[in-house]
Amino acid sequence: MTRSALTALICAGILGAGVLVSAPATAEPAATGSELSGKTVFLDPGHQGTAHSENLQRQVDDGRGGTKDCQTTGMTTLDGVPEHTINWKVSELVRSSLESLGATVKTSRADDTGWGGCVDDRARAASESGADVAVSIHADSTSATTDADKHGFHLIVPTLPIPSAAADAAQSEGGRSASTLMRDSYVRAGFEPANYAGVENGIQERSDVAGPALTTVPLVFVEMGNGSNPDDAALLESSDGQLEHAIAISTGIIDYLLGAETPSTTADTATTPAATTTATTAAPAATAPSDAGPATEGRSALSRLLESVSPYVNSFGVDGLEGLATPDNVSSVSTFAQGLLKQILADR
């Protein structure tokens, strides 16, 4: 999907949310695309294409005093779609979404054919990018054949403390907060947390994943679903499903970057995003993953608007939405969206 098509989808979703609100019909249009200006996001679409000659078994630093394999090939879904391609397509949708809102996006690999770097190379690139948050996008697998019993997404967080003081500070504070917000975004989007591998409420703590132990900016490590499960695999393989994952990831990132709304406004504006919303501009304070379910706090108004694309995807699919995005429709929707965004972000 092209960037312009994704932007049209976002605008269509904003209009869908707008029909539920009492925003003035004469809302003043404003130049959008700067809501995330000054923010940098590092995206790491996991694994790499097959056109490379690197030794995947070469040992590299694991961040905890040991070594591990440079890279792995990644899983393959039930219908034969390689994980690296799914990760790449979802990452590109997320990149387009964030860039259309003014963010600077840096990536670990430039395409889906060649090499993307060892795990330590990617962690180093994320750290050197100075990103406000880094997101490593992956999909899981539990069997080489069908595994109908194990399903769902999860976020990997590192066991603390991490030997590197800089990595420990980044992952124990911003990394945990960003991961919790990403978990909440996934749940709101209708995805179920994984029911395997010791995942608790969408969070899995591990000490054997090198990326979080080597990265000195807040890191979110997403496992979008289980490619061995027929339902999960169908979403991971399809354009519609990839867009749904991209929306969930984008809104989780936006919630972290824009900060939390005050509790008093969140409940009142859940279906009326044009209401007078008060928000802070700082990233949310670190919060440990809880068993309380998706938080009602910690959401930005902008992310709620972007989430409203999901029902359109479920109803029409990507092809249907692109068909609805005629030049006339996009023009009028964009004007409305600009005024609505200006109202919501006015107090930031």
Helix/strand/coil percent split, the chain, to 5: 45, 15, 45
Whether 173 is catalytic: no
Name the catalytic one among 35, 83, 92, 223: 223
Distances (CA, A) of 41 to 36, 136, 143, 277: 10, 11, 33, 25
3-state secondary structure of 68: strand
Token pair for 3? 């960037």
Q: CA 112, CA 126: separation in Å to the nearest integer? A: 19
DSSP string, 277-313: --B--SPPPP----SS-S-SSS--HHHHHHHTHHHHH
Contact 186, 220 (CB under 8 A): no
Phi-psi region of 198 (alpha: psi -120 to 50; beta: other; left: phi over 0): left
Q: Can you say whether the dihedral through the CA atoms of 158, 121, 38, 103 is positive or negative?
A: negative
Q: Can you say whether the dihedral through the CA atoms of 300, 303, 305, 308 is positive or negative?
A: negative
Strand pairing class (67-69; 59-61): antiparallel
Task: Provide Rg for the chain, Cα atoms.
Answer: 20
**Nearest alpha carbon to residue 253 among 84, 42, 47:** 42
Number of other CB atoms surrounding residue 150 within 10 Å: 18
**Residues noted as catalytic:** 223
